[in-house]
Amino acid sequence: MRSHRRRGPLPHVLAVGSDADLDTLRLVLDLLPEGAYGQVIVRSDDALPTPPRVTVHHVRDDAELAEAVAAWTAEWMPDEHDDPDRAVSLWIGADAAERLHGTCPAVHALAVRL
């Protein structure tokens, strides 16, 4: 019988991008391990290849982008961030970062914490 115990930190990911970030975002997603889980939030209609446990959430505008990032942060980045069994990777594309600047305090809070 196969053990269900974790052998290391879970690779948990949030990747955020827009149309202008798609080439780099695809490279980032290609580098994710097969066991990674998390979410991609993208301001684009393009399909993106992801590992099986990584979902893609498409948004239409900057307000939805900021709202989705804030919601992910509230759910997945609790104040107790010293869990050694949890590894979180965050990638925000340059264009998406510009779009979020000043509109998403959650991104600033993440940057300060990380």
pLDDT tens-digit readout, 14-60: 999 999 999 999 999 999 888 888 999 999 999 999 989 999 999 99
Residue 2 class from Cβ within 10 Å (0-12 exposed, 13-18 middle, 19+ buried)? exposed
Whether the full predicted model's pTM is greater than 0.85, yes or no, is no
For 72-106, the pLDDT digits (tens) are 888 877 665 566 666 778 888 888 888 887 777 76
